[in-house]
Structure 1
Amino acid sequence: MDKILQTGLSAGNYGCNVGQLGLHSSKPVLPDRRYDGKHLFPQSFCPDARARCSKPTKSGKPIQMSYISIGAWSWGDSATWHWRPEELLAVKKPWEYLYDDDINFINTAKAYSNGKSEEIVDELVNGLPRDSFVVQTKQLGLPVALTNLFSSSEAPFKALETMVKRVKLQYTMSAVAKGLTKCVDQGLTRTVGVANYSLYDFKRMREELAKYDIPLIINQCEFNILGRLPELDEDMTTYREMEVQFQSYSSLAQGRLTGKYNAEHSPPSVLENIGMKRRKKPAAVALKYNLSKGAVPIVGIRNIEQTEQAFEAFGWRITEDEVKMIDQHSFIGEKTMLWQQG
C-alpha cells in the first residue's frame, strides 16, 4: 500500500501538471497578476546555513531547525526513484558536507520506501550528538491501514514507536492525526507537525493539541513556482501570523526547476537569467524564491551537485523585481482529493 501511495504522490505533484503527466490538469492556470511580487518576507530576512528556525515544544526547549530541509524521499526507493544499494555511500558524503556546514534538518516518512528511508537516516546520524540534528518523519493517517481504522487513538503511537525503532532515536518529529499527546508525553517526539492539511483542518488540530499544551508548529504542503496555491489562497500569510512554519515539498518540482522543464517562457529560463546575474544555479534561485515567500524548502539530496545547489540558496537576497519576474511565469496549482488540501 505504501508503494501505491508513494507512486500516487509522485504522479500528483505540481511538477507533473505542466506537461501531459500526473493527476492534475495539463492546462495549468495562471495567477492574477496583482499577486506578482507579493507575500515576501522583509529584505532583512537573509538566513545562512547557520541560521535556525526556532519553534516551541511542550517541554519548553524549542526545536532549532535549519532553513532548508534535506529530503529523503528517494532514499531506498527503487520503484519511483530507481534507488540502488550502492548509492548509500554516495549519499553519505553529501550528508557529511551538509551536517558539517550546519544544515541539520532531515525530512523522511514511513511511506518513503516502506521505512527504508528511515533506516538510511539512522545510518547517517548514528553516533552524532542527538541535539545536533532534527529528524521529521510522518505517519499517513488514512483508513487504508487496519490500525488506523479500528484503533485510531493508538495508531499514531504504534506507528511512531516502530519508526523510532528504525531510526533508533529518542525522539523524532511526527505528523499524525490522533494519539499525538501520547507520542509527546512518552518521549517519542518532541513536537508535532502535519502535512497537506487545509488551513481549516490545521486550525482544528491546533486547537485540540492546545488543550494538552502541545504546539502544532509545521504544515508541510507542496509549493513551488509551478504551484503557488498555498500562497495565493493567503494560507502562508495566515501561518506566518500564527507563528507556524510553512514547509514546502517538491520545492524544485521534481527537478523541473533545475532546467529539466524547457517549455517556451518556462520558469527555468527566468531562473537562469537571474542566476547568471547572481552567479547562482537555477535550482538555488528557485529555493531562494521559496525562502523569500516564507517557506522552509525541502530539497532532495543524492549527490554533491545537489548539495551545492542547496547551499547556494543561502546568504543572499532576491529582490522584489526578480520575484515579480518569476511570478509572471508561475502557475496556481490545484488541490487534490488525496494529497494537497492546503
Structure 2
Amino acid sequence: MAVLFHYGGCFFSINGRGGVSRVRRRAVAAANSEEYGKLEEKVKLGGSEVKVSRLGIGAWSWGDNIYWNWNNCFQWDDRKLKAAKAAFNASIDHGITFIDTAEIYGAPYTLGAINSETLVGRFIKEKKGKDPGFEVTVATKFAVLPWRLGRQSVISVLKDSLYRLGLESVDLYQLHWPGIWGNEEYIDGLGDAVEQGLVKAVGVSNYNEKRLRDAYEKLKKRGIPLASNQVNYSLIYRAPEENGVKDACDELGVTLIAYAPLAQGVLTGKYTATNPPIGPRSLIYSSEFVTKLQPLLNRIRDIGEKYNKSPTQVVLNWLIAQENVVPIPGAKNAEQAIEFVGALGWRISNEEINELRSLASKLQPVFGLPFEIL
C-alpha cells in the first residue's frame, strides 16, 4: 500500500518498503519527454471540418478574479498574467492546440480583471510574432443573456469576440447555455455566422438531450452540422451518461466537449478534508465530500503508479477512453499544461475504467456548477 502526500507542488509516494517516489514530478517529466512528444491524431468536431487536439485547454481562469483566485481576490497581477501566458505557450508547444474561452470569462461580467478572450488574443499575437506557423484552434461562446433577442444578437456579439481575439473568424462558436425565452433565434444566428464566414463550426453548451436534438435538426435543414455540446462531465459527475446526452451525441455524431473534467481540481488529489477547495468551489466540494472521495482517489493513485502517471493524467485518460469526448481541463500555469500531455498516448484497461466508475457511483451525486442548465 502506498501513502501519498503533497509538498512543494509535487506528490510524493511512500511505499510499504519505505521507498519514496516523486509521482507527479516524474509524470510531468515523462510528459515533457520525447516519449510523449507525438500526440494522438487530431479529431474532427462532429460533422464539421474543424480538427482539434484530443485534449484541449480551458481558459476560464485566465483573467478571473473570483472563482479561480478566491485567495487573492481582485489581485490579477503580473505574476498571474505570466503564468497564464506560460500555460498557453506550453500547451501549444506540446501539441495541445485547442483553446476554449468565452466572452463571459473575466471582465466585465464576473468581476474579472481582464477578459479571457482578450488574453487569448494577446497570447496568439505574441506567439505568432515568434512562431508565425504555429497551430491553434480557438473556441469561444455567446452568453445567452435574457435581453439579447433575435438572431442578429449572435452576430453582433460574435464580432465583438472576434475583435478581442484579434481573429477574422473563430473555429468553434457555441451558445453558452440555453435561452430562457427559447432557442430557435439563437440557433438561426449560429447558422448565419457560418454562412457569413465568421465561424468554421458551431456548437452548444449545457444542452439537454431534447434541446440538443432540436438544435441538430434545425441546423441540419440548412446543411450545417452541429459540431459539439460542451457539458460538465467527469468521473464523479456523470450526468451526461445518465440523462441521455452522451448517447445522443454518439448517435448524432456530435462531439462531447467535457468541461470540469478534473472536477475543478478535486480529482487531482491535492485536496484533503483539512485542506478542501475554498471560495465558491467549497459550496460543491465540502470537507465531508472530500473525505468520502479518498477511497476513489487512492485507487486512482494506484492505477497511476502502475502506468507511471499522476492522478490528473489517469482521470483525463478515463474520460478520453469514453470515446467521442474531448476534455478541456483548465491550466493556470505551464506545469499543469505539460502534465495534461501525459494523459495522451496510452489507455487504461476496460477493467480499470469500469472499476473507477463503480467506485465513483458509491459517492453521493455531485451537483453541477451553479449556472449549469441541463
- Which bracket does the TM-score occupy, shorter chain normalised? 0.7 to 0.9
Q: Give CA-to-partner distance per residue, 1:246-301, whole Å, 9 cap, x none.
A: 11101101100001254145332121111111110001101001111122101111
| Structure 2: distance between partners of 1:129 and 1:56 | 28
Whether 1:74 and 2:61 are equivalent positions in the alignment is yes
1:212 Cα offset (Å) = 1.6
Q: Give CA-to-partner distance per residue, 1:89-118, whole Å, 9 cap, x none.
A: 222223222212221100100110037100
- Counterparts of 1:20-31 in structure 2, within 5 Å, are none
1:242 Cα offset (Å) = 1.6
Structure 1 letter corresponding to 2:312? A
Q: Give CA-to-partner distance per residue, 1:159-178, whole Å, 9 cap, x none.
A: 11100000011111211334
1:333–1:269 distance in 2 versus 1, CA, 3 Å = same
- Counterpart of 1:140? 143
| Structure 2: distance between partners of 1:193 and 1:325 | 32
1:132 Cα offset (Å) = 2.2
- Counterpart of 1:94? 87
Scaled by the length of structure 2, the TM-score of the pair is 0.72
Percent of matched pairs sharing the same residue: 30
1:207 Cα offset (Å) = 1.0
Partner SS, residue 299 of structure 1: coil
| Structure 2: distance between partners of 1:279 and 1:211 | 48
- Counterparts of 1:1-342 in structure 2, within 5 Å, are 49-55=39-45, 62-82=49-69, 83-114=76-107, 116-126=115-125, 127=128, 132-143=135-146, 146=147, 148=148, 151-172=149-170, 173-176=172-175, 177-178=186-187, 179-259=189-269, 260-261=271-272, 262-264=290-292, 266=294, 267-294=296-323, 295-331=325-361, 332-333=365-366, 338-341=371-374
Q: Could you say which structure has the larger radius of gyration?
A: 2
Structure 2 letter corresponding to 1:71? G
| Structure 1: distance between partners of 2:197 and 2:132 | 17
| Structure 2: distance between partners of 1:86 and 1:135 | 24
| Structure 2: distance between partners of 1:309 and 1:286 | 12
Contact 1:222 1:340 in 2 (8 A): no
1:75 Cα offset (Å) = 0.2
Scaled by the length of structure 1, the TM-score of the pair is 0.78
| Structure 2: distance between partners of 1:93 and 1:265 | 31
Detail structure 1 runs of 4+ shifted over 6 Å in the superposition.
none
Partner SS, residue 91 of structure 2: helix
Partner SS, residue 137 of structure 1: strand
Contact 1:70 1:299 in 2 (8 A): yes
Q: Give CA-to-partner distance per residue, 1:198-249, whole Å, 9 cap, x none.
A: 1110111111111221110100000111111111334313312221101110
Give the length in aligned residue pairs: 288
1:135 Cα offset (Å) = 0.7
Partner SS, residue 141 of structure 2: coil
| Structure 1: distance between partners of 2:350 and 2:61 | 33
1:152 Cα offset (Å) = 1.9
1:306 Cα offset (Å) = 0.9
1:63–1:124 distance in 2 versus 1, CA, 3 Å = same
| Structure 2: distance between partners of 1:304 and 1:169 | 24
Contact 1:76 1:84 in 2 (8 A): no
1:305 Cα offset (Å) = 2.3
Moved more, 119-128 or 245-254: 119-128
| Structure 2: distance between partners of 1:84 and 1:270 | 38
| Structure 1: distance between partners of 2:51 and 2:105 | 24
Partner SS, residue 113 of structure 1: coil
- Counterpart of 2:22? none
Structure 1 letter corresponding to 2:50? I
* Higher RCO (C-alpha under 8 Å, 6+ residues apart): 1
